[in-house]
Amino acid sequence: MRRPAITVAYYVLIEALRSGLPWLAAACMVAVLGLAGFLSQVAITEGAALQASVAGSLLRAAAVFLIAAHVVASVAREANDKGLELALALPISRPVYYVGKLFGFACTGALLASLFALPLLAWAKPADLIAWWLSLAAETALVAAAALFFASAMAQTLPAIAAAAGLYLLARAVPSMQAIAAGPLAEESLPGRAARWTVDALALLLPRLDSVAQSEWLLYGAPPAMELAHALLGLALYFLLLVAAGLFDFSRRNL
């Protein structure tokens, strides 16, 4: 059972390497490093710190966007080419196929994270960069899982990308929303309490993406190992939830 999943993952990886993704990733890297270099030239102080933080945050955003777009496009292409029907006609179960696809996309995300982490070696200490890279790889795996779930469930490219992007942005913003909603100026009226309750309930259903792959780690050092492990464990739990939701949806589809 394990072997077919690895075979599926292998072909997903091959597809990624032969698509336009490597070129897009390289273009992103050049553009981001160029922009960071330009900004460091016009900064009057902390030029290297500016370069590292801008490059780190933009490369993180680029990695997330590229992996989400790639997963959605790949699933849409497979659906259009009837590749899914062909694959499931083989002696392979749906869960194994789904997990294999996801494993391949997660490996693609890890490759992207590695590629984007390499140039940051110029400004960050290796130990700090490893923490950043590790959490970016985990983040891209989670985004790949979300994109695969939405692409499978929605069957249309634009809504799937929008849903994945919406989930990501909401997960990044929800801790700030919670802090604002609980401030002393928050209204004690029924709508005010309902808004706070809604934000709190929403936070329970979202991962804490604000606590990983922060560009400030490249400047001031990575968080303690326990804190990092805690953050990664949170992502792992959410990844598992997305996998389970994806398997549930995939198993219900009538193909």
Among 178, 195, 199, 219, binds other proteins (CB under 8 A): 178
* Under rule CB under 8 A, residue 184 binds other proteins: yes
Helix (H, G, I), strand (E, B) or coil at 189: coil
Among 183, 189, 190, 191, binds other proteins (CB under 8 A): 183
* Under rule CB under 8 A, residue 26 binds other proteins: no
* Under rule CB under 8 A, residue 204 binds other proteins: yes
The structure tokens listed for 70 are 């790639």
* Under rule CB under 8 A, residue 180 binds other proteins: yes
CA distance 100 to 12: 8
Binding to other proteins (CB under 8 A): which residues in 68-107? 95
Count residues binding other proteins (CB under 8 A).
32
Among 35, 195, 206, 219, binds other proteins (CB under 8 A): 206
- What's the first-to-final CA gap in the chain, in angstroms? 22
Of 9, 164, 194, the C-alpha closest to 98 is 9
Of 151, 152, 164, the C-alpha closest to 64 is 164
CA distance 2 to 139: 24
CA distance 63 to 71: 12
* Under rule CB under 8 A, residue 49 binds other proteins: no
* Under rule CB under 8 A, residue 115 binds other proteins: no
* Under rule CB under 8 A, residue 39 binds other proteins: no
Query: Do residues 109 and 135 lie in contact, with contact meaning Cβ atoms separated by under 8 Å?
Result: no
Residues binding other proteins (CB under 8 A): 95, 175-176, 178-180, 182-185, 203-208, 230, 233-234, 237-238, 240-241, 243-245, 247-248, 251-254
